[in-house]
Amino acid sequence: KNMSVTLARIDDRLIHGQIVHAWIEYSKAKHLLIADDFASTDKTSQLMLRLAAPKTIKLVILSLEETINYIKENENEPIFLIVRNPESMLKLLNLGLVLSEINLGNISMTKSQTGRKMLLKNIHVEQNDVDCLKAIAEKGVYIYIKLVPDERPIDAIDLINKKY
């Protein structure tokens, strides 16, 4: 089992404000790893992420492929992993990442995407998100929703099954 990822989160805003600060503290991580194929090559995204990340943690922005190696190379270091969407998390698991649980954070309601349903006020899913989340759960990974660490967790799959 991989001990290095102390917290794995899906959040389409990646790093934002107090929420990430709260989760960083909770995760006790030394590395904040953004696994995102777009951000890993986009200078503007990288700049925004660096501005948003607290200076107390090492920020690393890598492609999904590079993420797997980074986690292997830092297996004794606590890492807080953030990806943009369920599809990216599923890809990481298919590439060999081992996780027991995932925190499902924000999936914004964007005008360009049709067929999104509100799961909770901060989580709007489309069919692809649902399919990916179910595929993640089928790998034995517990997906929970909490806005902040001290909230009571909500089982994401239970919620999906009620709403879909």
Q: What's the pLDDT score for residue 112? A: 52
Reported confidence tier of residue 73, pLDDT bands at 50, 70, 90: very high
Instruction: Please report where in the chains the tokens 């006790």 appear, as a residue.
Output: 28
Burial class for 45, CB neighbours closer than 10 Å (0-12, 13-18, 19+): middle
Angstrom distance (rounded) from CA 61 to CA 142: 25
Angstrom distance (rounded) from CA 56 to CA 24: 10
Q: What is the average per-residue pLDDT within 126-135?
A: 94
- Average of per-residue pLDDT values in the chain: 91
% of the chain with per-residue pLDDT over 70: 95
**Cα 19 to chain centroid, rounded:** 13
Q: What's the pLDDT score for residue 31? A: 96
Q: What's the pLDDT score for residue 124? A: 86
**What is the enclosing helix (H) or strand (E) of 51?**
helix 43-52
Residue 159 burial (CB count, 10 A): 19
Angstrom distance (rounded) from CA 15 to CA 19: 8
Note the pLDDT tens digit of each residue in 16-43.
Answer: 887 788 999 999 999 999 999 999 999 9
Angstrom distance (rounded) from CA 156 to CA 154: 6
Note the pLDDT tens digit of each residue in 140-161.
Answer: 999 999 988 999 999 999 999 9
116 pLDDT more than 70? yes
Tokens of 2: 């991989």
